[in-house]
Amino acid sequence: MNYQDRWILPAGITEMLPPDTAQLENLRRRLLNLYASWGYELVIPPMIEYLESLLLDRGDALDLQTFKITDQLTGRLMGIRADMTPQVARIDAHHLRRDVPTRLCYAETVLHARPNQFAGSRSPLQIGAELYGYEGLQADIEIISLMLETLGTVGLPEYHLDVGHVGIYQQLIKSLSLTPTQHQQLSEAIKCKASSDLQKLLTDWQVPQPFQELLNSLVQLHGDRAILEEARNLMVPAMPALGKVLDDLEQLADQFDQVPLYFDLAETRGYKYHTGLVFAVYIPKHGQAVVKGGRYDISEKLFGRKRPATGFSTYLTTLVSLLSEDVARPPVVSAIFAPANSDPALAMKVAQLRKEGHTVIGELPQQEGQARAMGCDFELRWTLEKGWQVVPN
């Protein structure tokens, strides 16, 4: 490795410099303050932990994104977190162990083994909120409402909310005896709305005709609120249990009647992990969802305690790139330059200014560059009448 190569970062690993860092930190604080105002408590999980709890039955996608190392103390396999949701779920179920609904939030860096188009980096700063201990629809409504407040803080002018419910797909395939490979093929065909591929799979597998018809109709059930009534007429007569799912989606449509909603009843994203309502936010000219969330009730086998859960997450770097102009930059802080002087009165004045919230940059003896070069619009000067005073430079 030559001298220049030592400064090259690995592909997908990024760093932020001033003033971009100030912009990101300003948004992080605003969002965490927003979440705190709703009662969401901040947690900071460890960067690394044992792999079993880190993956949380999330399937192959998260497994492939997780860097793995061997613990030199125990010989056990550990992982560097690629998603903080499993960690926060562990904190709720194993450490807090509350019986009441618990609201937690987080904002920390995660690490991806492979580039992630959604994050735009292999080391993005993930932020999100989770609500545990309440299985009713009102928890999902609260989480979506908080997510919409997040978008309002960013100032997104245009977006639409994609809503699905994996319970529909799970109910339809529950009575089918499919292998894991078949489950994967079926899920992929439905997700891609590939009707011809879906029909071929169902025919080859000799799926009973009534289920073929229901699964074939599923890929057509996407659009505005009117699609819910169509789904009710098509599916509820054959599977009455789906009536409750559609009731919940209707209630959600009533709650967010001013939000551009798009229903996709063929949503199979994370069907092994999610257990109910799922949603994602899309904006024009941005192919990937900018926020994702949904219900993922925690099973007892994972942390020894069954807990209903719902939440959302996004990446701060993604949100910063979408900031509207009026919130794009943090408030401008006019720094004050303090000369290199041992006068105790100057030290007292500097301490007072900093206590009042001003930024004061002290001159180092014989340094290069004065106030302007240091980015200071003001400086402290001595006057016989008033002592040390802040004046424009």
Asked, for residue 181, whether it belongs to a domain, the answer is: yes
- Residue 105 sits in the same domain as residue 191: yes
**What is the tally of structural domains in the chain?**
2
Please give the pLDDT value at position 380.
97
Please give the pLDDT value at position 143.
98
Asked, for residue 1, whether it belongs to a domain, the answer is: no
Determine whether 261 is exposed, middle or buried from the number of CB atoms within 10 Å of its CB (0-12, 13-18, 19+). Answer: middle
Please give the pLDDT value at position 271.
64
Asked, for residue 3, whether it belongs to a domain, the answer is: no
- Residue 365 sits in the same domain as residue 247: no
pLDDT tens digits, one per residue of 99-155: 999 999 999 999 999 876 655 689 999 999 999 999 999 999 999 999 999 999 998
- Residue 349 sits in the same domain as residue 386: yes
pLDDT tens digits, one per residue of 223-247: 999 999 999 999 999 899 999 999 9
- Residue 185 sits in the same domain as residue 317: yes
Structure-token pair, residue 118: 């959604």
Where residue 369 falls among pLDDT bands split at 50, 70, 90? very high
CA 76 – CA 42 distance, rounded (Å): 29
Asked, for residue 107, whether it belongs to a domain, the answer is: yes
Q: Token match 């007429």: residue? A: 233
Asked, for residue 4, whether it belongs to a domain, the answer is: no
Residue 285 near residue 157, CB atoms below 8 Å: no
* Last residue within a domain, chosen from 275, 310, 327: 327
- Residue 218 sits in the same domain as residue 101: yes
Task: Give counts: helices (H), strands (E), the chain.
Answer: 14, 16
pTM of the model: 0.89
Of 305 and 192, the structure prediction assigns the larger pLDDT to: 192
**CATH number of domain containing 240:** 3.30.930.10
pLDDT tens digits, one per residue of 313-365: 999 988 988 886 665 555 556 899 999 999 999 999 999 999 998 999 999 99
Length of the chain in residues, anyone? 393
Asked if residue 300 has pLDDT above 70, the reply is no
Asked, for residue 98, whether it belongs to a domain, the answer is: yes
- Residue 245 sits in the same domain as residue 375: no
- Residue 54 sits in the same domain as residue 73: yes
Asked, for residue 33, whether it belongs to a domain, the answer is: yes
- Residue 273 sits in the same domain as residue 375: no
- Residue 357 sits in the same domain as residue 319: no
Asked if residue 216 has pLDDT above 80, the reply is yes
Of 58 and 203, the structure prediction assigns the larger pLDDT to: 203
- Residue 63 sits in the same domain as residue 29: yes
Asked, for residue 2, whether it belongs to a domain, the answer is: no
Of 8 and 224, the structure prediction assigns the larger pLDDT to: 224
Domain residues for 82? 9-327
Residue 162 near residue 288, CB atoms below 8 Å: no
Where residue 59 falls among pLDDT bands split at 50, 70, 90? low
Cα distances (Å, whole numbers) of residue 262 to 93, 139, 279 = 33, 20, 10
- Residue 39 sits in the same domain as residue 152: yes
Mean pLDDT of 193-206: 92
- Residue 52 sits in the same domain as residue 175: yes
Of 171 and 36, the structure prediction assigns the larger pLDDT to: 36
Please give the pLDDT value at position 331.
58
Average pLDDT, the chain: 89
Of 306 and 200, the structure prediction assigns the larger pLDDT to: 200
* Last residue within a domain, chosen from 327, 360, 380: 327
